[in-house]
Structure 1
Amino acid sequence: MPPPRPLRAAVATVALVALTACSASVVGDPAPPPSASPTPTHAPLTFEQAAAALTPALVPTATVTRCDEYEPGSPEAQEYLDQVAQEVAASGGTAAPLPSPTLPQCGNPLLGDLRAASVAGHAFALGDPIEVPVAGGASRAIEVYEMPDADAAQTAVATEAADIDGWAVDQETPRVDNPDGTYLPRTVTSAAGVDEVDLPGWTAYVLTRDEASFQDDGSAAADPYSAAHLWAERDGLVVRVQVVGDTPGQAVATALATATQYLQALSG
């Protein structure tokens, strides 16, 4: 006995819907998925590029010093040692034997780097009295380190950002009397902290603090100033920017501006 007509019509309707659905899935080529936006990439930086971008224009120019490390055993290292030996011999020497010349050591020797380079500048000449604060920092330095690999660079910057020694912490240090009769006045550290900063393509943090010193009677022993250390890493390289003797509250801005100027020179 045939099923009632309404039910058969319903079955036909369901079959038509199913057929339409199947036909839609097989007729013609499937539409290609939307193309994903390409992920921005950058060519890895080399230590040679990073070192070449260190110029006196990045630091105060009253006194500028440059430091470059050489790979032991390389022609550049031997050329440096030969030059130092010649300069010592030309100076006349002494009756006592002189120690053998050694290769230069730049920056922080405890960082575990393969080699480093730096440029430092001061707003005063050597031997002149040092007065702080100075807008833009009485002294600024930029150091570049080649680490064994990218993980080592990331670990180095993360360790510095952790501020294990508590440098970027508000605190007070009591007066210190020295054996020679001099003393260091009481020091108050304020506005201290660690923050991540935006340097495109780099992972970067800055540590900062303001310092003020006081005599026993509470009067100021010196004008207050600010200091900052900016650490950044990329491609197995580590960069540190140091600012000392800046206007209170301004060392971070100076460090960031200096780092930005350096990266512009590096990319140019």
Structure 2
Amino acid sequence: MLPLRLARPARGLVAVVALLALGACSADGDPSASPSASSTPTRAPLTFEEATAALMESLVPTATVDRCDEYEPGSPEAQEYLDQLAATQAEETALPGPVLPQCGNPLLIDVRAASLAGHAFALGDPIELPVAGGASRVIEVYEMPDVESAQTAVATEAADLEGWAVDRETPRVDNADGTYIPRTVVSASGVSEVDLPGWTAWALTRDEASFQDDGSIAADPYSAALLWAARDGIVVRVQVVGDTPGQAVATALDTATRYVQALRAD
């Protein structure tokens, strides 16, 4: 994803040239003339509280829904949570001390996070893939230290350094207990920038299928997608798993679009 890295200094160079040109024009004009005020209203930066308020259950399958919210360490809300948890564990001396919840990807260097996960099945029920709209859908919101770190996080994920969105075939794997994992084929994979107004957004997608040794299908194929988006100091991740082949990226974008619309409604 080399163009991602090259595009940033190029835009910076254009901005410098534009500023120099504006300076030259001002020098040739009336020195007493003041620049006209912009008619575009200044948009306030998106806050973590606003971003998490838009996490609504209507965005995910609702057979089973899990919500996770982190607290800023040292905040009154965090202390209240720890006090309540300590009170419930008071009689369970074997339990470790109370800790704050951890949501989302622990490898992302964020300030705090929240997530909403929805599944099209109840826990313990058999799962038959694919499911239109995804068997599972997760939306995660991260508050990053600053705008640059938010953009960097999305650019890093779009680079797909681990090759998640790359076509490949994995041979059958025999386990020690006598079971095995059939041959798996990843296809129709790729990374693309997607249109999410007001956000920098990229989507990664792939189809998965598994086959028996004789070439017959071991499990029906399905698609999966990851969508990463950044605005101000906020990063949003949408994950779709178990959708019909070729459709997960559309489901992820639709989910992200409805999430953004919910933000505007607030």
* TM norm structure 2: 0.83
SS across alignment from 1:144: strand
What SS class does the counterpart of residue 195 from structure 2 fall into? Answer: strand
Residue identity matched to 2:157 = E
Tell me the equivalent position of 1:162.
159
- The residue that corresponds to 2:109 in the other structure is 112
In the alignment, which residue of structure 2 is the partner of 1:132?
Answer: 129
The amino acid that maps onto 1:150 is V
Partner of 1:173: 170
TM superposition shift of 1:97 = 2.3
Partner of 1:86: 87
Question: Which amino acid is 1:152 matched to?
Answer: S
Residues 53-104 of structure 1 show CA distances to partners (whole Å, capped at 9, x for unaligned) of: 1111110000000000011121111111122223334xx53xx622111111
Residues 1:122 and 2:123 are matched in the alignment = no
Match of 1:103 in 2: 100
Moved over 6 A (4+): none
Structure 2 counterpart of 1:75: 76
CA distance in 1, matches of 2:182, 2:88: 43
Provide the C-alpha distance between the structure 2 equivalents of 1:36 and 1:149, rounded to a whole number of angstroms.
27
1:49 — aligned with what?
50
Q: Structure 1: 5+ residue runs without aligned partners?
A: 1-28
2:207 maps to which residue? Answer: 210
AA aligned to 1:215 is: Q
1:40 & 1:194 partners in 2: Cα distance? 34
Counting aligned pairs with the same residue, the percent is 80
Map of 1:21 onto structure 2: none
Pair 1:232 & 2:233 matched: no
Tell me the SS of whatever aligns to 1:49.
helix
Residues 88-136 of structure 1: CA deviation (Å, up to 9, x unaligned): 34xx53xx62211111110001110010001000000011111110000
**Aligned counterparts of 1:36 and 1:45: Cα–Cα separation in 2:** 24
Structure with max Cα Rg: 1
Structure 2: gaps (5+ residues): 1-29
What SS does structure 1 have at the residue aligned with 2:252?
helix
From the superposition, tell whether residues 148 and 37 of structure 1 become closer, same or farther in structure 2 (CA, over 3 Å).
Answer: closer
Select 1:190's aligned residue among 187, 190, 215.
187
**Deviation at 1:39?**
4.8
For residues 204-223 of structure 1, what are the alpha-carbon distances to aligned partners after superposition, in whole Å with 9 as ceiling and x for unaligned? 00000000000111110100
> TM-score, normalising length from structure 1?
0.83
RMSD: 2.0
Counterpart of 2:171, as a letter, is: P
